[in-house]
Amino acid sequence: MILLQHISFGFPGGDLLFNNTNLTIPSHTKSALVGSNGMGKSTLLKMIAGEIQPLNGNITISDSVFYVPQMFGNFNHLTIAECLKIDQKLNALQKITNGEVDEIYFEILNDDWDIEERCQHALEHWGLDNFDLNQTLEGLSGGQKTKVFLAGIQISQPDIIILDEPTNHLDLEGRKLLYDLIDKADATVVIVSHDRTLLNLVDTIFELSNQGIATYGGNYDFYAEQKEVEEEALHNDIHAKERALKKAKEKERETLERKQKLDAKGKQKQEKSGVARIMMNTLRNNAEKNSSKLKSVHAEKISGISDGLRDLRSSLKNSEQMKVNFNDSNLHSGKILIAAEDINFNYGKGNLWKENLSLEIRSGERISIKGSNGSGKTTLIQLLLGNTEPSEGKIDRTDFNSIYIDQEYSLIDNDSTLYDFVQTFNDNALQESEVKTLLSRFLFCKDTWEKKCGMLSGGERLRLLLCGLSISNKAPDMIILDEPTNNLDLQNVEILTHSIKDYHGTLMVISHDEVFLKEIGIDRELILN
């Protein structure tokens, strides 16, 4: 069991991520943490894994834990064995095998005599059979590093498995192996991921938000259904508040008008009856005080309803206000944009593909490019766009404009401010106030407009780029997305999905996220071997 009691945690100079937070995860269950960027999902995993300690509170974990981190930079100088914390056991086994009988080696090995066989089997299972346990992680691809740590699960056979965005760099085959591992695992599993296929293998979703941790007893599809119910109820509450506000304002106006008419009639009657001037002034002052008191009562009621309405609207999903309204492409559907004939590329170690490629890309198509890690997906994109020339064959291209969005969103100038960057898209001569309104709509408040783009997270970079595209008056004829959902939380994946679904130009996507590909309406696949 994992038990967090009254946990508080925050980074120096920042607000508390957790304050008096409690969480219980029973043994042999599979659960996932979801929530927007900055809610502390990865931090919570690190605390469970013992990587960091809370400021206050207690964490009780009685079982062995294996942690697969999201980032591997800190491990590059370590060997595979050191990363998996099996180097001492392997060394002890070797010493014993060589005839050394020091008791310390037997204590370290702890009767784990088949450690080498497990290592070999695990590495082979993850397609790493040619790897040496003594080689460092430096030089390995992101997918290979992830597979090293996933192999460590099979080697260590822990009671608790902690996974932070494990599918970010995995190809389709690697993902299938991971899904099978989680599906068959008897251990307690806790996952942070945007991979909805993976999230559907869990039996509990914990949602982290500013209000704390909410529990949903089911997989991601169940969670999404419950959120839709909550969202519908929220919209109903908003509509009810809007009606109440309108009614309160009408009531205020009617009451004040009626009061003014009665006061006017009273004044006329008093004048006709010859009431003394001093008494008239007293009556007038009393009437004004009553009117002021009446206005105050109505204003307080309207203010209360308005505050409630504002709170409800602030709970609406951000994807609803960040939708990009793409203009239609000027190219007619079906026009051949790119024709490649018998192309290949040579990096100096032979051709990239076993067989030369021939293909056509037509206007309006929505194409996914698939293949294992190292199969040349990104290289193919560079060839088709003319950024690289093929070693063999030829490529004919018509005149069209395109935008290439890679995993790092490198279109964004890191040295530019947020405001200056989106201004580069302002070909429609929008006023400064309109540009800043759009920045606010994409959740960039006034304090961030002069911030350098290089300081943005992956999700923020996506939102900034979508903001720029919403400002532009020229829809690209082709959009190319290279692993667009990597490093995005579920909210930002949803924002991207909503934007791309309404785009009517040509779309090419490199992605292993099958749910994302289905939701954006892919109609053709190119599979590289």
Q: What is the residue whose two structure tokens read 């996506």? A: 462
Average pLDDT, the chain: 84
How much of the chain exceeds pLDDT 90, in percent? 42
pLDDT, one tens digit per residue, over 73-94 is 788 899 999 999 999 999 999 8
pLDDT, one tens digit per residue, over 447-469 is 889 999 988 877 788 889 888 88
More confident residue, 408 or 25: 25
More confident residue, 441 or 146: 146
Q: pLDDT-based confidence at 474, cuts 50/70/90?
A: confident
pLDDT value of position 117:
92
- Is the pLDDT at 374 greater than 80? The verdict is no
Q: Would you state the structure tokens that stand for residue 102, as one six-digit string?
A: 């020091």
CA distance 372 to 528: 8
pLDDT value of position 361:
93
The answer to whether residues 499 and 341 touch, using CB atoms and an 8 Å cutoff, is no
The answer to whether residues 400 and 375 touch, using CB atoms and an 8 Å cutoff, is no
**Which residue type does 398 have?**
T
pLDDT, one tens digit per residue, over 226-271 is 988 877 877 777 777 777 777 777 777 777 677 667 666 665 665 5
pLDDT value of position 141:
81
Beta bridge partners of 9: 18
pLDDT value of position 92:
92
Among 51, 53, 49, 50, smallest CA distance to 18 is for 53
CA distance 502 to 519: 11
More confident residue, 503 or 343: 343
The overall pTM is greater than 0.85: no
pLDDT, one tens digit per residue, over 350-365 is 899 989 999 999 999 9
Of the ranges 29-33, 55-59, 101-105, the best mean pLDDT one: 29-33
The answer to whether residues 496 and 322 touch, using CB atoms and an 8 Å cutoff, is no
CA distance 486 to 512: 10
